[in-house]
Amino acid sequence: MGLIGQIFGMGGTAKQIGEAVGGVAEVIVGNRAERDAAAAAQITGAVSQFEGEFASAGALWFDRFVNGLNRLPRPMLALGTLGLFAYAMAEPAGFSTRMQGLGLVPEPLWWLLGAIVSFYFGARELHHQRTRTAVTLARAATAAVKSADPAPAATALAMPLLAPETKPAVTETRAEDPDFNAAVEEWRRLGA
């Protein structure tokens, strides 16, 4: 390649043209590595902020008691179902009498029971999933900040995490006009 470059006289010129094109492309597109580093620093800063917001203040004895109480229904349901099988084998006549009694329960009541149980376990699972996610993200951010170079963390803390507050263009409200819509008025004023 060096010989061909010398023959055509473009040895250093081709390199300079390549660097110039790379510089122009970087101006237009931007440096991806720098963008990724800035995005990572911003995410690290946001997660470290979440760490402070979602940090547990320490569970009191009542919180621990209620958490323990909330852990009882699932094992009780599982053991109760196994107990029904044992009861059916031990005393089939009594079991069939009780199952006939359950057959008399109206269907809407079963739907209500299903909804209550579903919402109870669903809400409980959602609460614990949110708690686990917040704690995991907070720990990951702390580990990333402690192990990383302090410069990106300082950059992330210096970056604004939220958009600057802007005052809405339409501030007046017309209480006497029930059809007034501030968003539509602003849209009309902007000529859209």
Secondary structure (DSSP) of 45-113: HHHHHHHHHH------HHHHHHHHHHTSHHHHHHHHHHHHHHHHHH-HHHHHHHHHHHHTS-HHHHHHH
What is the C-alpha to C-alpha distance for residues 125 and 71, in angstroms, rounded to an integer? 11
Where do we find the tokens 């859209």?
192
Can you give the residue ranges of every domain in the chain? Answer: 31-161
What tens-digit pLDDT sequence spans the chain (192 residues)? 566 666 666 666 777 777 777 777 777 777 788 888 889 999 988 888 877 776 666 668 887 888 788 788 888 989 999 999 999 999 999 999 999 999 999 999 999 988 888 887 777 777 777 777 666 666 666 666 566 555 555 555 555 555 555 555 544 555 567 777 778 888 888 876
* Contact residues for 87 (Cβ-Cβ < 8 A; gap 6+): 94, 95
Single pTM value for the model? 0.34
